[in-house]
Copies of this chain bind each other. A is one copy, B any other.
Amino acid sequence: MAKIKESSTIQENKQYAIQKCPVSYVMEMIGGYWKPIIIYHLSSGDKRYNELKKAIPAVTEKMLIQHLKQLEADGLVVRESKPVVPPFVTYRLSSAGRGMMPMINAMAEWGLDHMKGKF
């Protein structure tokens, strides 16, 4: 996975933000272009890798798998693979992942309100 140069100011500032600010911490976890969309698709139930791929046609395989790995590493998503050929892999939200649904809904609600010009 992409190497990071942990001596850069960018990294230092990011760490600072993530540690000082729980909101930055959240955004670090769900901040990729495709992550909210992946989470949305998983919120309605487990999906196989290929199902996600078809559900989100614009995403490339590299990005899809990269985001899935990150979500898994952050404990938001659980990956389950059956040792068969062809492979059978399913992804689903962990309890932490499901636990963020109220937050996600709050975000979506504000977003929709703001789009519509409320406030």
Chain A positions near chain B (C-beta within 8 angstroms): 13-14, 16-17, 20-27, 30-31, 33-34, 36-37, 40, 58-59, 75, 94-96, 99-100, 102-104, 106-115, 118-119
Contact = CB atoms under 8 A, between A and B. Distances in A.
A113 B95 CA distance: 12
Main secondary structure of the interface of A (DSSP, over half): helix
A17 B30 contact: no
A36 B58 contact: no
B17 A37 contact: yes
B111 A95 contact: no
Given A22-B110, A103-B107, A106-B107, 4 more contacts: A26-B107, A99-B113, A99-B119, A107-B107
